[in-house]
Amino acid sequence: MAESGNTPGSDTTASGLAGGGAPPPALVRALVRVLRPLIRLLLSYQITYPYLANLLKSVYVDLAEREFAIPGKGQTISRTSLLTGIHRKDVKRLRDEPLEPDAPPAVVTLGAQLVARWMGVDEFLDGDGRPRPLPRLSGDGEEAPASFEHLVESVSKDIRARAVLDEWLRLGVVHVDGEDRVCLNTEAFVPESGFEEKAFYFGRNLHDHVGTAAHNLLERGDPMLERSVYYDRLSTDSVDELNELARRLGVEALQTVNRRALELQQRDAESSQQDKRMSFGVYFHHADDEPDEGADGDA
């Protein structure tokens, strides 16, 4: 496997285009490819080009102001206009219209903590290290098995377990079996319904995936992990088999990283430096063959 990135010694960063040079053709081709599924999604929700164009202006101005200022100098409207190609009048207007904060829905914030504990703390796991079905209510005595009610209380005593259960049943995150036990439907917090929640994960996961690939292309610092396996000319049965294999191995990897991350987060609670975040993900995509899509193997 190989990390994504430029050929050693190349210099095709954004700053190299400030003099008006054309962008690298390979990057333009990659950008068109990245945009196709995004534009397909936008069209499905009747998000038009003028709406997207105005949104892009806001993001361009925001990033130019926050990340591309000359050290020791304030970013001027003229320089932002030069960097972005956006008219000075629009830059001035957009400066006064800050982007909305990227705050997750409340159910996502609480849900992520609950599932992390369900997948990472021994008392909520079975003998194989998988999230086990939890009795809905806590039993009497110290020997009673950990319950869903206990799971919720271990994260927040201000929210009733019944309210969480009702919401998770609505979203399809859990189901209740015939023994009145709460069972995790998916081994990660990905709601089956609930558009706001799924849209949040869509934005966060793609942000970090694209950010990783962009970091590697810019060649600023050590490469980040960003790899995949690609094969075409496969039958439906073969894709189904590989899909199941990827799901099983992917869940195992996610559970292992989650368990260790939870331990380290608890350890770092005593540290004075808690200013970093991380994300780790796996994916499996399948579609009809496209000509000249790429070469088989690892990438």
Average pLDDT over every residue of 223-229: 92
C-alpha torsion sign, points 41, 56, 69, 104: negative
Contact 3, 216 (CB under 8 A): yes
Please report the pLDDT score of residue 22 as a whole number.
Answer: 85
Segment 103-133, tens digit of pLDDT: 666 666 788 889 889 988 889 988 888 889 9
100 has pLDDT over 50: yes
pLDDT of residue 17: 47
* Alpha-carbon distances, residue 47 vs 37, 52, 88, 97, 129 (angstroms): 13, 7, 26, 20, 44
Mean pLDDT of 23-45: 93
Q: What is the mean pLDDT of residues 8-36?
A: 69
Q: Domain residues of the chain, as ranges? A: 106-184, 227-299
Mean pLDDT of the chain: 84
Strands 134-135 and 297-298: unpaired
Task: Give mean pLDDT, residues 54-60.
Answer: 93
Q: Is the pTM of this model over 0.75?
A: no
Q: Residue 41: what pLDDT?
A: 93
Nearest to 159 by CA among 169, 170, 172, 148: 148
In three-state secondary structure terms, 207 is helix
What's residue 19's pLDDT?
46
Higher pLDDT, 56 or 130: 56
Return the pLDDT at 9: 36
Is pLDDT of 16 > 60? no
